[in-house]
Structure 1
Amino acid sequence: MQDTELGSTRARIQRVALELFAEQGYDKTSLRELAERLGMTKASLYYYFKSKDDIVRSLVGDLLAAVDEVVDWSREREPTPQHRRELIERYGKAVRGQGTLLRFLTENQPALRGLEAGDALRQRMRTLIGFVVDPADPLPAQLCGRLAFYALHGGPAILSDVDATSEEIFDAACVVALSMVPDGDGRQA
């Protein structure tokens, strides 16, 4: 099999797996069901991915690389109000177009707890939240800082029934996320 064919089959498996995981949950989706939806045998599926965990690892891998760039950026900056807002903008760019994956990750957190990919993403999120949220701030400001990330993760799902393009919806989520970033005085921007 040629590399391009391998890559396109692999990408197709990832896309269909993500759809199934998002529709019915990680735990309720079997490899047999995934193989059937793809019109292939379970043995053929095993050629590409040995387990559901392997599929999740591959899905989260690209997202982690993009999030790592934001984490690396944050490590070179002081958490000033301007840098906090810039981090949210950078994070928004990193997750733009990842609505289905973010929905899957959000809705399947219990199932992902034991997976290496889930742990890796949670570790990065703690770092990013730690940059945006000052533990000395009042609780409402801390909550707003955390909700800024949730606006980016959940905004597309919350607005899925609105008559707007996915780009317009994500742009709105970015505006809301930026409005929630604490300004350094314990207040939101």
Structure 2
Amino acid sequence: MTDSQAAMSAGAISGGMSVQTLKTRALDVAIEMVGQRGPDHVNLRDIAETIGTGVSSLYYYFKSKDALLAEVAAEGFGRLEAAVTAARNDGLGREPIRSCGGAYLRFIREQPMLYKVMYSERILAGFEVAREAERRAFATFAAGIADGAPTQATEDGALALWAFGRGVASLSMAHEAAEPGSGHALSRRLVDGLEVLIGRRIRPPT
């Protein structure tokens, strides 16, 4: 099927969805499936069946499963960025590290499988759309932690917290693979532990 034929097929789906709506709907379904099944068990055929179109229509937008997951990752970073922005502007008067840091950790805790896709080494290495979305999300996060233009110190702090999140995701996935059901509990403990540390003054050893 040529690109023009695929585009025509993409527009002619049940319910009269537009071409752009088809792509958006496919991404929404893919993200839902990632959360329910994990990324290893998501495929274009199941997504096409769910939204009521032919799989060839989806191949017009997503040339492969990895291309689909790259778009899922980019959407995930966009949602993370929106969550951090909302926390920064919530008007509750909390310290930036608690509001923005809390939003970031909450995102990881609530959407671990989506976060796993966002930080898949294969996806980040292979797709600029995912890398660019990550850069935007981190820039927003660093600005939120700094409550303005980041300094070297505040950016270092933001980077440390960002890296902690990646570690939480990696450890929880490993535990989940070894003992189903344990990964989520571990991620909650790690995030809760960091929140305790953020909320307390840590004194160096004397």
Alignment check: 8 A CA contact 2:168 2:187 kept: yes
Pairwise CA RMSD: 4.7
Q: Distance in 2 between matches of 1:95 and 1:120?
A: 16
1:148 equivalent in structure 2: 164
Residue number in structure 1 paired with 2:140? 127
2:110 paired with 1:97: yes
Paired letter, 1:168: A
Residue of structure 1 in register with 2:173 after alignment? 157
What residue identity is the alignment partner of 1:175?
Answer: D
Give the Cα–Cα distance (whole angstroms) in 1 for the partners of residues 203 and 89 of structure 2.
Answer: 22
TM-score, normalising length from structure 1? 0.57
Cα gap change, 1:90 to 1:157, in 2 (>3 Å): same
Aligned positions, number = 167
Cα deviation, residue 157, structure 1 = 1.6
Sort the Cα spacing of 1:156 and 1:11 in 2 relative to 1 into closer, same or farther, 3 A.
Answer: same
CA distance in 1, matches of 2:41, 2:135: 19
Corresponding position: 1:74 with 2:88: yes
For structure 2, the residue ranges without an aligned partner over 5 or more in a row are 1-13, 17-21
Q: 1:153 to 1:180 in 2, by over 3 A?
A: farther
Identity of aligned residues (%): 9
Alignment partners' CA distance in 1, 2:152 and 2:203: 10
**1, 5, 11: which one aligns with 2:29:** 11
Other-structure match for 1:88: 101
Structure 1 gap ranges (5+): 23-33
2:110 alignment partner, SS class: coil
- TM, length-normalised to structure 2: 0.54
Larger radius of gyration: 2
- CA distance in 2 between counterparts of 1:48 and 1:154 reads 30
Secondary structure at the residue paired with 2:152?
A: coil
